[in-house]
Structure 1
Amino acid sequence: MATFLSGLENGLDETDFDFHDEAPSFFYGLKQRDKDKRAQALEQIRKTVEIWGQHKDEETAKKLLTVQLPTILRLSVESPFEDVRTAFTKMVATLKEAGVTVPDILHLGPSSFIRECNKNLFVAEDPLTQLDASSTALFVEAFINQLRVSRLIQLLGYHPKYLQCFLRTHNFLMRGDGPLSYPFRHYIAIMAASRHRCSYLVSIQEKEFLEQKGNRDWLQGLDHIPQKLRNLLTLNKLLAHQPWKVQADLFKDLLIGPESFSLGELAHAILIMTHYHALSSFALGCGVNPEIDSPQGHYYGDLSLLIPFCYQGNPALGVIGTTSDSEVTDSDVGFSPLNSSPGYLVNSIDKHFAMPLNNTSINGSSFNNVCNGTESSLLHTLKTVSVINFDPELETKESMDREFRESQSVCDLDFKKPITPVVTPQDLIKYLEDPNYSHEDIESTSPLKDGEYSWEDHAYPLLDRLYPDSGYILDEKFTLAYNLTYHNVGEHKNVDTENFRRAVWNYIQAIKGIRHDDYNYREVNSVLVKRFKSYIRMVACYPEQITEFDFSGQIESLGLGFSEKIHVNMIVLEARLQAELLYAFRALMKYMKQ
């Protein structure tokens, strides 16, 4: 931090250091539990920012402010420590008084789709949206580790038991001891999140890549990365969209040759790719808002001037940029005047812009008609299903096969496959190979049966052997996500939701071609209404296509509370993740036996 302060006092030339490389360390002193130590760091930051304001017209100060202002703005509203929020709020006011143009925050809350969560959760006064002490403690852990409580983490805070398990897994993969270098981990995460055009996750991982001293040239795109990373592109593409096509021979080029991975490195890479594919489903499924300090999370000037240009339909996608085969000029998007970063072109208040871009409206009905649909509520469905006798022991093989095929069927769903390709943000196209490759429905005649290859008996022990403790940590998370319940449906208490949770999990794995021998798939079509099946299928297979209209139209009619909507997407996340892992490690096990 001293270089930032002394740089202006001593007339340091702007070419003497890299503003972006210096940026992360500027705030590191805040990663403290001790309030007195944080106070010392805050005072040093305050003095430095004050000097920048006094020299705002000098080129060095101007560039320093360009780099740091978005983070200053974020810390003024998003920190678990009140002293940090207060101090940075005062700094923002000081800079404004000095005549510095300070950006405005585009979205105060973590989600645009879940309206109860579209507010600043750190100062929420509404008892409905207040977080409990255990979540706040986990937010502190996240802040100390990352100097941020990401908006994805904020949403998961409504399920503290799961969040604790999630953070343990995430930190194990991305920050713990492991065979892959830290820059490799974060770049693999960028490649994985890019498959679903999830700018939200890519933006965070680009920052972390640089914080881990990653080569800035790699962020120019795939033409600038080592061959070892390029070798993962096909595996990444298949796992994201058609994991059942991963075969043993794919691992030959990955495990043999001068740019090969060790078995431990490859296991680590597979875990990161699948982790970020599934996280993309969650972020896009919940409409997670951009981080305030990302280019899409703040804006300069009049927001109303940006609105007419375009609306991407999902804030986690970021700004419109290029499709897979065409370019968009600067005139097609809005740019913030200070740093020339594209502003996110959506007004979270003007919801009339949130209409689907891909003809995924439900039977052409209006938004209000969809929300007031005639489908039975989830509560009524669960009460009805609870008296139906499901006994796989009494079913014939033919009837079980038929029920599985019918559970997979898309012929009666409102959403089957995107009519138009998703628009790829300009800053992501560089990370994509074969960008038009997407989900195709698997043939139901040859499912992967858990009697042949299961998580418990095969993938879990193999993972623990190749990458110690990873299998155990993931198994704990899968089990918690599958069993987590509060016995509520909306305002109704003491409701047994086991049939619903089990149907969601098994339906997601069924459309990925995985069949559980001890499950009667009649339950899927009995418990899950068509609209809801359409939505969770989109989350698992085409998350980049989801708009707020899809979310509201296909999930609202169930009568779920806002935290339960988050819970649904958590189940989809974990079921999808496990499915990808089963295919990846089945193929790897076959290769190892050759």
Structure 2
Amino acid sequence: MLMAFLVEVLSYHPKYMEHFLQTHNAILRGDGPLSYPYRYIIAIIASGRHQCCCLMNMLKNEFIDHGGDPFWLEGLKAIPAKLQNLYEINKILAHTPWLLNKCYIENLTKGEGNWSLSELVHAIILLVHFHSLSTFLFSCGITKKLENLQTHSCEFNSKSAESLAVPDPERPANSPVPISRRSSQDEDSLSSSPPSIVGEQEVKLQTLMERMKDLSEKSDSFEFTEEELAKRFETIEKQSAELVVAPLRTNTVLEMDIGLFIEEPSYIYQDFTKCGQLSESLTFRVQDYSWADHGYSLVTSLYTDVGNLLDDKFKTAYNLTYKTMGEHSEVDTSRFRIAIWNYIQCLYGIKHDDYDYDEINQLLEDSLKTFIKNAVCYPERVTKKDYDRVMTEFKESEKVHVNLIIFEARMQAELLYALRSMMHFMT
């Protein structure tokens, strides 16, 4: 059922959905260095970092379907030591990826139960994929929908879910799908939820489009020094630390079988600036290590087919546009999309040296930045009410589009830190 809901939401964007499903199926069921049981356990512990109950239970069923030992589902203590050793980088990648370094890679590749580099790349891709998928499920309200329909019961038939994961070539990109519509019952269930973190006031679409147009017209006539661009990046970092953080959901209880795969639930995202990490020497500069110039080559050398699949998926999400905003058509949305992508990576201390970060403040109002930050950093706290109250003039497909950018920008950010650490270890 979870995959049915996921596919239904992704069907707004068939081109992206095709790349997503190819990648998802390849890392779980395609050729690769890891056995099927290892893949599913890694996916389960990754999903556990954000307490994504429904995703974890679906993966448990698929684990059994693919020959996994039921004893392993007793929790972290029941899985092989080699898999247990992976948990530390799972925790760091999910919440503070800038703390990852070559020492973690070295510890995993040496000694008893060591990981080969190809196995480790496969494992890391699984971790970052399921961290980000958890973000997408929460930020689109899919987990809440399942809770309402099944009264907090998460039992899935993985084989029937796989059969549903087929794109519908007849559905137009922006056609409505049932999952996006809220019933009165859904709204009633929100009455006991925490107040929405998203403010009432938003910049009108017409104003936003005028700002994008002004920025496009001025881009050729203004040049900024590296020092000025660096200051603007730091300003965004500092401002993001002051945004409202969603409270813990009072009805969130770690079920016994889910909690067995979650250690240190109190270990969560810490603002890059508040960790004392904000300095030019510690900031991750994309010009020094990027996916296109460095990460892609490393993944391709160790996990060939998936390197190409990831590259296609990143590019599709980054470039996807229908040139619409709400009821407006023939709109160049590139600046808005890039602002979202770069803001998300900024939350992880990743800097694009040639980007003017002041554009983020001009194009993303505080309510949207607040939603994005919580979706990326605290997804298990995001409620359906938050989703409903942000981007109110956007079409439902456009709101899902923003969440796709959140998914991919976060995944790439985590992956960049991991792959850079591997490169440092290898050299």
TM-score norm. by structure 2 comes to: 0.85
RMSD: 2.6
- The Cα of 1:264 is off from its aligned counterpart by 0.6
| Aligned mates of 1:203, 1:291 — CA distance in 2 | 16
In the alignment, is the contact (CA less than 8 A) between 1:200 and 1:291 conserved in 2? Answer: no
Alignment partner of 1:549 out of 381, 385, 390: 385
In the alignment, is the contact (CA less than 8 A) between 1:356 and 1:550 conserved in 2? Answer: no
Alignment partner of 2:349 out of 513, 528, 535: 513
Instruction: Output aligned runs, 1:258-337, within 5 Å.
Output: 258-289=112-143, 297-298=149-150
Give the equivalent residue in structure 2 for 1:380. Answer: 207
Three-state SS of the structure 2 residue aligned to 1:457 is helix
| Aligned mates of 2:83, 2:353 — CA distance in 1 | 38
Give the equivalent residue in structure 1 for 2:231. Answer: 402
Kindly tell me: are residues 291 and 210 of structure 1, through their superposed partners in 2, closer, same or farther at Cα, counting changes over 3 Å? farther
Instruction: Output aligned runs, 1:27-66, within 5 Å.
Output: none
Give the equivalent residue in structure 2 for 1:460. Answer: 296
Give the equivalent residue in structure 2 for 1:478. Answer: 314
Give the equivalent residue in structure 1 for 2:189. Answer: 353
Report Cα offsets for 1:514-543 as digits up to 9, x if no partner. Answer: 001121111111100100010011111110
**Count of paired positions:** 392
- The Cα of 1:380 is off from its aligned counterpart by 2.2
| Aligned mates of 1:550, 1:185 — CA distance in 2 | 33
Give the equivalent residue in structure 2 for 1:586. Answer: 420
- The Cα of 1:217 is off from its aligned counterpart by 1.0
Alignment partner of 1:436 out of 245, 252, 266: 266
- The Cα of 1:423 is off from its aligned counterpart by 2.9
Kindly tell me: are residues 494 and 189 of structure 1, through their superposed partners in 2, closer, same or farther at Cα, counting changes over 3 Å? same
Give the equivalent residue in structure 2 for 1:575. Answer: 409
Give the equivalent residue in structure 1 for 2:102. Answer: 248
- The Cα of 1:416 is off from its aligned counterpart by 3.4
Three-state SS of the structure 2 residue aligned to 1:554 is coil
In the alignment, is the contact (CA less than 8 A) between 1:403 and 1:520 conserved in 2? Answer: yes
- The Cα of 1:353 is off from its aligned counterpart by 3.2
Instruction: Output aligned runs, 1:76-87, within 5 Å.
Output: none
Question: Which stretch of the first structure deviates more once superposed, 198-207 or 175-184?
Answer: 198-207
| Aligned mates of 1:553, 1:402 — CA distance in 2 | 32
| Aligned mates of 2:192, 2:238 — CA distance in 1 | 24
Amino acid at match of 2:254: P
Report Cα offsets for 1:395-454 as digits up to 9, x if no partner. Answer: 023321221122223468652364678834313211011111000011332310011111
In the alignment, is the contact (CA less than 8 A) between 1:355 and 1:547 conserved in 2? Answer: no
| Aligned mates of 1:436, 1:250 — CA distance in 2 | 21
Give the equivalent residue in structure 1 for 2:244. Answer: 415
In the alignment, is the contact (CA less than 8 A) between 1:532 and 1:555 conserved in 2? Answer: yes
| Aligned mates of 2:219, 2:358 — CA distance in 1 | 8
Amino acid at match of 2:230: D
Alignment partner of 2:88 out of 211, 234, 239: 234
| Aligned mates of 2:301, 2:375 — CA distance in 1 | 32
| Aligned mates of 2:27, 2:332 — CA distance in 1 | 34
Greater relative contact order, per chain length (Cα 8 Å cut-off, separation 6+) = 2
Which blocks of at least 5 consecutive residues in structure 1 are unaligned? 1-73, 75-109, 111-148, 300-314, 320-346, 364-369
In the alignment, is the contact (CA less than 8 A) between 1:200 and 1:290 conserved in 2? Answer: no
In the alignment, is the contact (CA less than 8 A) between 1:490 and 1:560 conserved in 2? Answer: yes
Three-state SS of the structure 2 residue aligned to 1:395 is coil
Three-state SS of the structure 1 residue aligned to 2:82 is helix
Kindly tell me: are residues 423 and 165 of structure 1, through their superposed partners in 2, closer, same or farther at Cα, counting changes over 3 Å? same
| Aligned mates of 2:234, 2:101 — CA distance in 1 | 24
| Aligned mates of 1:264, 1:432 — CA distance in 2 | 26
Bigger-Rg structure (1/2): 1
Alignment partner of 2:13 out of 119, 135, 159: 159
Amino acid at match of 1:510: C
In the alignment, is the contact (CA less than 8 A) between 1:220 and 1:430 conserved in 2? Answer: yes
In the alignment, is the contact (CA less than 8 A) between 1:534 and 1:554 conserved in 2? Answer: no
| Aligned mates of 1:236, 1:284 — CA distance in 2 | 19
Give the equivalent residue in structure 2 for 1:5. Answer: none
In the alignment, is the contact (CA less than 8 A) between 2:102 and 2:425 conserved in 1? Answer: yes
Amino acid at match of 1:283: L
Give the equivalent residue in structure 2 for 1:536. Answer: 372
- The Cα of 1:200 is off from its aligned counterpart by 2.0
Alignment partner of 1:201 out of 12, 34, 55: 55
Report Cα offsets for 1:32-68 as digits up to 9, x if no partner. Answer: xxxxxxxxxxxxxxxxxxxxxxxxxxxxxxxxxxxxx
Kindly tell me: are residues 462 and 217 of structure 1, through their superposed partners in 2, closer, same or farther at Cα, counting changes over 3 Å? same
| Aligned mates of 1:483, 1:351 — CA distance in 2 | 34
Give the equivalent residue in structure 1 for 2:73. Answer: 219
Amino acid at match of 1:526: Q
Three-state SS of the structure 2 residue aligned to 1:512 is coil
Q: Which has the higher helix share?
A: 2
In the alignment, is the contact (CA less than 8 A) between 2:246 and 2:382 conserved in 1? Answer: no
Report Cα offsets for 1:467-488 as digits up to 9, x if no partner. Answer: 1122221111101100100111
Report Cα offsets for 1:189-231 as digits up to 9, x if no partner. Answer: 0000110011121111111000011011111111111101100
Amino acid at match of 2:105: F
TM-score norm. by structure 1 comes to: 0.62
State percent identity of aligned pairs: 39
